[in-house]
Structure 1
Amino acid sequence: MTMADSIVNKVGRRHSLRVLGVGGLSAVGLLSLVGCGGEEEGGGGECTGEVDAQSQQLRQTLQYVEQSTQDGKWCHNCVQYTAGTHGACGSCTVFTGPVQPDGYCLSWAAMPEAPAEG
């Protein structure tokens, strides 16, 4: 391999990394715009917010979904969740960005039950 070939390989590699980086940032941007819209019962409303790459990776690791398939387990009844206003998306203490009230992830933990009055 000549010195010229080495330079071309480095430039090609750098260009590829830039393209992948811009593509990755674009995907994260698109996901943050999609947010957690929808009009399902309990959720609904549009919400947008930035989701950084680290948080996106954490969401994937925790298998976050915007519509729970787990009986009785939704973000809105998880101790980690903070509700948004007027049925809009809320937030989570585990990762950043908008969180659909009807969503679910592996970090779900039941809220403590309120003491009975009387």
Structure 2
Amino acid sequence: MKNDDYSRRTFIRKFFQLGSACLGFGMVAGGCQSEDSDRKDEGDSGNSSGREDCEDLSGINQEEIQKREVYGYVKESSYPNMSCSNCSLYLEPESGNKCGGCVLFDGPVFAEGYCDYWEPNES
């Protein structure tokens, strides 16, 4: 009986160790990918639409960036009539700024974006 408890504990411990390692690897790989795309965007100086401002997450800490992923935030909604601009959690851009914000996480937000916590704006 004691061997069963030990093997179960060992299994659970190894399961969580492996899960943590996979999660860490995924975060590192995702970080490398976003750095590559940031470098590619820097070379495109002809884009004057302000989209690059909304993609700049340089002043945002890693925890807030992870929240975006957890909430399923994307830059462009694939649902008609469901975007950040008509969500009750959306924060309108301040004067002179082209990007809005969100109550759920820090950083710039595309008005045409979307996340899994979209809530219709009642006003």
TM-score range, shorter chain: 0.5 to 0.7
Corresponding position of 2:117: 107
Identity of aligned residues (%): 27
Corresponding position of 1:77: 86
CA pair 82-68 structure 1, distance change in 2 beyond 3 A: same
Q: Which runs of 4+ in 1 moved over 6 A?
A: none
Residue aligned with 2:110, SS: coil
How far 1:51 sits from its partner (Å)? Answer: 2.4
Higher helix share: 2
CA pair 60-71 structure 1, distance change in 2 beyond 3 A: same
Please give the root-mean-square deviation of Cα atoms over the aligned residues, in Å: 3.3
| Number of residue pairs matched by the alignment | 85
Match of 2:106 among 96, 106, 109: 96
Corresponding position of 1:65: 74
Q: Which runs of 5+ in 2 are unaligned?
A: 1-23, 42-46
* TM-score, normalising length: structure 1: 0.56
* TM-score, normalising length: structure 2: 0.54
Q: Which runs of 5+ in 1 are unaligned?
A: 1-19, 114-118
